[in-house]
Every structure is written in C-alpha cells, then in structure tokens.
Amino acid sequence: MTAIRVLVGTRKGAFILTADGKRDNWTVAGPHFAGWEIYHVKGSPADPDRIYASQSSSWFGQIIQRSSDGGKSWEQPASMDDPAPAGDDGGIPGMPRGESNKFVYDTSAETGRPLTTHQWYDGTQHPWEFARVWHLEPSLTDPDTVYAGVEDAALFRSTDGGRSWAELPGLRGHESGPRWQPGAGGMCLHTILLDRENPERMYTAISAAGTFRTDDGGQNWRPINRGLKSEFMPDPAAEVGHCVHRIAMHPSRPNVLFMQKHWDIMRSDDAGDSWEEVSGDLPSDFGFPIDVHAHEPETVYVVPIKSDSEHYPPEGKLRVYRSRTGGGDWEPLTQGLPQQDCYVNILRDAMAVDSLDPCGIYFGTTGGQVYASSNSGDRWTPIVRDLPSVLSVEVQTLP
Amino acid sequence: MIRVVLPQHLRTLAKVDGEVTLEVDGPVTARAILDVLEARYPMLCGTIRDHVTGQRRPLVRFFACAEDLSHDAPDAPLPAAIASGREPFYVVGAIAGG
C-alpha cells in the first residue's frame, strides 16, 4: 500500500506526518528533538527508512541525527547509540570512532586553496565560522553518503552514514570565495541538487554568492550566474554576489533548472550556463521556495511574497502560483488557502512534491501550517495548523 | 567525586537524569571537568565548547558556588567545594530572548 511521509523541520522540533496513498487522513508524530531548531530533515532515495536531520541551537551548536526506521527512533551517528564493532580500528566498542557533529573547514595546504576569509557586512574580510547545517542531501544511490550545506557557506560530505564529515573545499576555495557575503539570514549554502543522469554533476546555491556547478564530483566548481541581475549589487550582472533563494530541477531533465532569486524567477535550459527571467505575470517575483511537478517537467510552483522588506503574501492572500509552461504564464491556486488576513511566509526549503499520480504538493508556513494538495495544487487542505514556525518540508513516497 | 548539573537539552542528549558525577584526576578545573564529561558522554562534544578551539560557546555559562566563572581561565582551579563534591558545577544555557 503506497504511503506518504512528510518530514517537517520547525523552530522547535521535527514532526513526521503520514498518510496512505489517498492522502486524506493524516497522523502527526512529534515533536522529535523538542525545543531545538530543525533546519532540515530528509530521507535517502536509496533507503527510505534512512533519514537524516539537522538539529541545532544557538546555545549548544550542531547535532546530526539519523534514523534507520523511518523516523520512529533516532540516534546520533557515532555516539554510544551507534556502537562500532570492536577491534578493526583499535577503537573501544560502543564509543565513537567519528565525530558526527564536527564540521571543520578544510584549510590544509594539500588542497592548495586554504581559504580563510570572506566578505563581511562592512566590506572587511571575515573568518569562516561554522554556524549550522541548513540542508542535508542524501546520495541518490548510497544511504550512507550524504551532503551537508552549511553556514558559513560550504559543502561537506559524509560517506559513513553521518559519523564523520569532510569539506569539499573546491567550492569554498573558488577564487570568488573572498567576495561572497552573507545575506540577512547569514551566508548559507541552502540548496544541493544531484544529477540522476550524471553522478559527477552537482549544483549548489548560496546566499549571497549565487549558483555553482561541479562536473567532477565536487572537486572543482564554477559560478553559473550569467543572466542574473541583482539591483542590490554595484554591478547587477556580476559573476557572484547574487542572493539565490532556491533552485529546482525535474529529475528527468537535469539540464533544465528553475530558480527563485531574491527577486525574479529564472530558468536555465543549459545546466545553468545561462539564465532567462520567467517571472511573467506574477503579482510579485519575490519569494523563497520553487519546485517542479513530479510528472510534468514544465509545471513549476512558487509562492509570491510581497517584497524583500515585507515577507508575507501580497494583499494578505496566500496563493501558490503554478506555471504549466515552464514559467512566463502563471495561475493562482487559492482553493483551500486563506484569502484574507494572511501574513505568513514560506521559507526556501519548505515546499516539496510527492511522486504519486496525481502529484501531491506540500508546503509549510512560518505560522505553523502545513498545507497539502493531492491534485497538483488545484485544491489545498491543511494537514496540521499549529506547529512551530516551519523551516523545511520534505516528502517521501513509500511503496 | 565532582557533581555536574547540565541544562535540560544536554541532559536529553546525554540521556541522563539529574546530576552527573565524575572522577577527575589532578587539579579540578573547568577544562578538566569538561574533558572527563565529554569522554564519558561524547555526544556532548561541541555543545559546550567549540570543537576546534575548545572555547566556551557564547551562550553557555559556568556557575559554581553562586559565582559566574564563565570568564575565568579554563585551567584556573575551581573552588574547594566543587573539588570535594559539596557543591555542583553548573553548565547553564544563558538567558536570551524575550
């Protein structure tokens, strides 16, 4: 029996929402990690029972959590809950061999690029300081391999189920690194896209640096921001410095990318080598999330927000906009969504799609609602209304 | 025997209730207590002190004998009452927010 599992990260814990394939009746479990900020929770495409969660706190730092039973129970990789077999590395059985919460920037001479500073708000250079993991992206093929996008912006990878992490320093070591600067939310690497057809290709997006691509498995990266224009920069078309809010792709067309930028909806048909604006007739082209329909690669979803200084829906009406033409022409989707006095925001990682037919669309709000549509966005219902402020939403379609 | 009181979130991570008791060899200092604490509860590594620098995290405080010792040198001897176990060493999440 097909089932849906929605993984929700909030300011005060994680929640797991489950339903059968009809998507009518939902069970809410949680909070997991009560009281902690859960920036992201995501399951492995290779093993849906393997789920990773980023748990953090301004007081006590970063914790990586892992589940091997679909979120029923959790453990810190490499802690005493995850005992190592005795003997093969001289370690003590039951004690950690790795350090699952340790994210240390690579400044070794061996990389050849021991970058140590980036641009700070006042224009001076500032040391890279790890704050938290914003996004976890499990490998498409290996449940023990997972990527982490962090603040200050860098990309880490674990190949041992989250027990230990190593930076892929080629990204932060790009010659443009000293020109990256934080946005209001910090300088975060928030989006990681993996290419199903080319395992050597990967995309990342950073606020406020822009979008980057590797074609050699993460060793070397280059900015792919040609066509973006950001009026807050002295040179609006500069190679880096753009505040990209999120990028999305359809798995069947990895060369076609869609972007929600600080302002502007953008599209690339050449794997990011160039971009064109497809904001079209949207009431506002500011917003955070963007996603693609599971079965229609030209059907794209955004949630317009009034402006960069007013982070709520225009006119107090919560409207998801859908384009069936890959951008340009957009239609408001309003059935079941509040159409007056609504002033919530939808953050960049808080929208996801399932792979059932018809496609299900899900998003969470800063007001604690998680909305679902089981018919590609035509009609919405709240799964739950009163969670803490939602930071992220991911969906697993279970066989 | 050294007594350590952890904030709720760290007790949850370490899966302990109430105080933690530790044996500390040599001079009883904040660094020595935290070294033993992290060795016994490795999931606390990085939650009280930075993984790399070993510096106290900004929103964590150390209290003992009604004094805030957060800004003392980590190798400074702690009061005799801590060393004897008469008083606990408190690891505290700083007050923050509204």
Give the model's pLDDT for residue A111. 74
Task: Collapse the DSSP code of B34 into the 3-class scheme (helix H, G, I; strand E, B; otherwise coil) and give the result.
Answer: helix
- Strand-pairing partners, residue A132, are A151
pLDDT at position A91 over 70: no
| Interatomic CA distance for residues A328 and A266, integer angstroms | 10
Nearest by CB to residue A61, choosing from B7, B47, B96, is B47
Give percent above pLDDT 90 in chain A. 84
Burial category of A396 from C-beta neighbours within 10 Å (exposed 0-12, middle 13-18, buried 19 and up): buried
Contact A174, A221 (CB under 8 A): yes
A60 chain-B contacts, CB cut-off 8 A: 7, 9-10, 13, 47-48, 57, 60, 93
Contacts B93 to A, Cβ<8 Å: 59-60
Q: Do A80 and B43 touch (CB under 8 A)?
A: yes
- Given this model, what pLDDT does residue A364 score? 98
pLDDT at A88: 43
Q: Please give the distance of CA A64 from its chain centroid, rounded to a whole number.
A: 16
Contact A17, A394 (CB under 8 A): no
- In whole angstroms, give the CA distance from residue A94 to residue A89: 13
Looking at residue A93, its pLDDT comes to 47
CB-CB neighbours of B25 under 10 Å: 7
Asked if residue A356 has pLDDT above 50, the reply is yes
The closest alpha carbon to B10, from A50, A55, A72, belongs to A55
pLDDT of residue A260: 98
Distance from CA of B56 to the nearest CA of A (A): 10
pLDDT at A357: 96
Output the six-digit token pair for A175.
Answer: 């010659």
Rounded Cα gap, residues A390 and A289, in angstroms: 13
Q: What is the pLDDT of residue B97?
A: 62
Q: Please, are residues A384 and A28 in contact by the beta-carbon 8 Å criterion?
A: yes
Inter-CA distances, A330 with A284, A300, B55, Å = 11, 9, 52
pLDDT given for residue A79 in this prediction: 64
According to DSSP, the residues that pair with A34 across neighbouring strands are none
Query: Is the CB of A102 inside 8 Å of chain B's CB atoms?
Result: yes
The number of angstroms, rounded, from the C-alpha of B98 to the middle of its chain's C-alpha atoms is 25
What ipTM is given for this predicted complex? Answer: 0.94
| Tens-digit pLDDT profile for residues A102-115 | 999 998 877 766 67
Give me the residues of A, 46-85, that contact B with CB < 8 A: 57-63, 76, 78-80
Our CA-based measurement puts residue B60 at a distance from the nearest CA of chain A, in whole angstroms, of: 6
The CA–CA distances, whole Å, from A217 to A71, A125, A220, A252 equal 30, 29, 8, 20
CB-closest option in B10, B43, B60 to A76: B43
Phi, psi of A212 (to 5 degrees): -135, 155
Say yes or no to pLDDT of A99 above 90. Answer: no
The whole-number average pLDDT for the span A370-397 is 98
Give chain B positions within 8 Å (CB) of A35: 8-9
CA A392 and chain centroid, separation: 8
Which residues in chain A have their CB less than 8 angstroms from residue B8's CB? Answer: 35
* A50 in Cβ contact with A41 (< 8 Å): no
The answer, for B46 touching chain A at a CB cutoff of 8 Å, is yes
A92 to chain B, any CB pair closer than 8 A? The answer is: no
Q: What is the mean pLDDT of residues B25-29?
A: 96
Residue A256: which of A203, A206, A207, A306 has the closest Cα?
Answer: A203
pLDDT tens digits along A212-236: 999 999 999 999 999 999 998 999 9
Chain A residues 321-360 with a CB less than 8 Å from chain B: none
CA–centroid distance for A160 within its chain: 21
Q: Which chain B residue has the Cα nearest residue A37?
A: B9
The reply to whether residue A61 touches residue B10, judged by beta carbons under 8 angstroms, is no
Residue A87 pLDDT > 50: no
Is the preceding peptide bond at A352 cis, omega within 30 degrees of 0? no
Q: Which residues pair with A19 in a beta bridge?
A: A4
Mutate: best of A60, A73, A80, A103, partner B, most B CBs <10 A: A60
Burial track A7-33 (b if 16+ CB lie within 10 A, e otherwise):
bbbbbbbbbbbbbeeebeebeeebbbb
Residue A274 pLDDT more than 90? Answer: yes
Residues in chain A within 8 Å Cβ distance of B92 = none
Provide DSSP, A349-361: B-EEE--SSSPPE
List % helix, strand, coil for chain A (3-state, nearest 5). Answer: 5, 40, 60
Indicate if the pLDDT at residue B32 is higher than 60: yes
Is the peptide bond between A152 and the residue preceding it cis, with omega within 30 degrees of 0?
yes
Q: Which of A59, A79, A104 sits opposite B57 (nearest CB)?
A: A59
Instruction: Write the single-letter amino acid at A334.
Output: T
Neighbours of A120 (CB within 10 A): 13
Contacts of A12 in chain B (CB under 8 A): none
- CA A91 to centroid of chain Cα atoms: 35
How far off is chain A from B12, nearest CA to CA, in Å? 9
